[in-house]
Amino acid sequence: MEEKLKEEKIKITPQRRELIRKLKELEETHPSFNRIYQAVKETQPNVSRSTVHDNLKLLVQRGIIRSFNYKGETRYEMSQNPHVNLAEFNKDIIDIKNEKVNEKLDEIMNILKEEEGIEIKSLLVLVEK
């Protein structure tokens, strides 16, 4: 991810480096802002909520990570590829890694492009169990 920051000409500060490290650690859970902030604060005790928020916002704006809302909470994920997220009550949100499902998502994107003229920038599917 640091390479993407360099490509985007974003300075790599100690706080950004730690934020990236925590995002990678928490990647499988689709962490909320609060969870990310608490994780960064463990190693960067002087980091402010606004610094973490502004850096997450920058990473989303530049397409390095993406965010989505679930039950009133902003969640973050690193995967930019179309996939299905599975949410279970009071558990983490996880990625469904199934090749058949991914093929169907590709089909949906192609149909939307070819038949509806919609150029898909990002596809996020969230399923609750």
Tokens 């604060």 sit at which residue? 41
Residue 3: pLDDT band (50, 70, 90) is: confident
Residues 67-110: pLDDT tens digits?
999 989 999 998 888 889 999 887 889 999 899 999 999 999 99
Q: How far apart are CA 118 and CA 96, in angstroms?
A: 25
Beta-carbon count within 10 A of 20 CB: 21
Domains present along the chain, CATH in parentheses = 1-79 (1.10.10.10), 81-129 (3.30.1490)
DSSP 48: -
pTM of the model: 0.83
